[in-house]
Structure 1
Amino acid sequence: MSYTQWFEEHANKHKVIVSKLQKQNYTKEQIIEYFDFDSMVENEPEFCPLYVDNKKCHDMESLNCYLCACPNFRFDDAGIKKVGENTQYSFCGIESKDGSQGVYGDKIHQDCSKCGVPHHTAYVEKNFDLDWKVAMKKCKL
C-alpha cells in the first residue's frame, strides 16, 4: 500500500469517528480523550490492525491515537531524492533524535517506531483539528 493510499483511507476512518462524536456533542477535550489507546481498543477495534492484539505502535504508557501518523512525517510516493543507488520516500520534518532512516532493499523510509511525539495528549491538543487531513497537511510533499 502506498503512503497516499494509507493516508486517504485513514483520513476517511478518522472522519467517521469524529463525525459520530460531534453528533453526540463531544467537546474537543472529550474527542481527544476518546482517542486514548484503551478507549479505541474497546470502542473502535477496526480503526487499527494492532488493536486486535491490544498492541501499541509505540512503547508508551499513555498513548493517544488521535493523530495516529505524525504531522512531522513527510512523504512522496514518487520518491524524494536519490541517495546513492537508493531512493528516499519519507523523512522526519523535525529530524527527531528518536527517529531514523531505514533502508529496505533500494528504498529508504523514515522509521518512527522509537518516537512517540504525536501520541502525547499535550501534542495532540496543540496540533488538534477536527479534520485529520488539515492537521496532517504538511505530510504529503
Structure 2
Amino acid sequence: MGYLSWFEEHASAHKKIVDKLLSQGKTKEKIIEYFDFDNMVKNEKDFCPLYAENRKCHDMDELNCYLCACPNFRFKDDGIQQIKDKTQYSFCSIDSKDGRQGVYGEKIHQDCSKCTVPHHRSYVEKNFDLEWKKIMKKCIL
C-alpha cells in the first residue's frame, strides 16, 4: 500500500468516527478525549492494526490518536527526489530532532518512530479540525 492509498483509507475511517461522535453531541474536547489510546483500543479496534496487540506506536504514557499521522510528514508516492542511486519518498517538514531518514534498499523514507509530536493532546488541540484531511492537507506533494 502506498502513502496516498493509506492516507485516503485512514481519512475515511477517521471521518466515520468523528461523524459518530458528532451525532452523539460530543464537543471538541470530548472528541479529542475519545481518541486517547486507552479508549480507542477498547472502542475502535479496527482503527489501527496495533490495537489488536494493545500496543502503542510510540513509547509515551498519554498517547492521543487523533493525529495518527503527522501534519509535518510530506510524501509523494512516485518519489520526491533522487539522492545518488536512491529515491526519497517522504520527509519531515520541521526536520524533527527525533526523526530520521531511513534507507531501505534503494528507497528513502522518513522514520518517525522516535517522534511523538502529533500524539500529545496539546498538539492535537492546537491543530484541531473536525476534518482530518484539512489538518493533513500539506502532506501530499
What do the CA deviations read for 1:1-25 (whole angstroms, capped 9, x no partner)?
Answer: 0000000000000000000000000
Query: How many angstroms apart in 1 are the aligned matches of 2:129 and 2:79?
Result: 28
Q: Does 1:28 align with 2:28?
A: yes
What corresponds to 2:129 in structure 1? 129
Query: How many angstroms apart in 2 are the aligned matches of 1:95 and 1:79?
Result: 18
Deviation at 1:34, TM superposition (A): 0.1
Deviation at 1:100, TM superposition (A): 0.1
What corresponds to 1:98 in structure 2? 98
| Aligned pairs for 1:36-115 within 5 A | 36-115=36-115
What do the CA deviations read for 1:45-66 (whole angstroms, capped 9, x no partner)?
Answer: 0000000000000000000000
Deviation at 1:73, TM superposition (A): 0.2
Query: How many angstroms apart in 2 are the aligned matches of 1:123 and 1:138?
Result: 17
Amino acid at match of 1:69: A
Number of matched residues? 141
What do the CA deviations read for 1:38-83 (whole angstroms, capped 9, x no partner)?
Answer: 0000000000000000000000000000010000000000100000
Gaps of 5+ in 1: none
Runs of 4+ in structure 1 off by over 4 angstroms are: none
Aligned sequence identity (%) = 72
Query: How many angstroms apart in 1 are the aligned matches of 2:34 and 2:47?
Result: 13
2:79 counterpart SS class = coil
TM-score (norm 2): 1.00
Query: How many angstroms apart in 1 are the aligned matches of 2:79 and 2:102?
Result: 14
Query: How many angstroms apart in 1 are the aligned matches of 2:127 and 2:5?
Result: 23
Query: How many angstroms apart in 2 are the aligned matches of 1:9 and 1:27?
Result: 24
Query: How many angstroms apart in 1 are the aligned matches of 2:108 and 2:86?
Result: 7
CA RMSD, Structure 1 to Structure 2 (Å): 0.3
Query: How many angstroms apart in 2 are the aligned matches of 1:60 and 1:6?
Result: 24
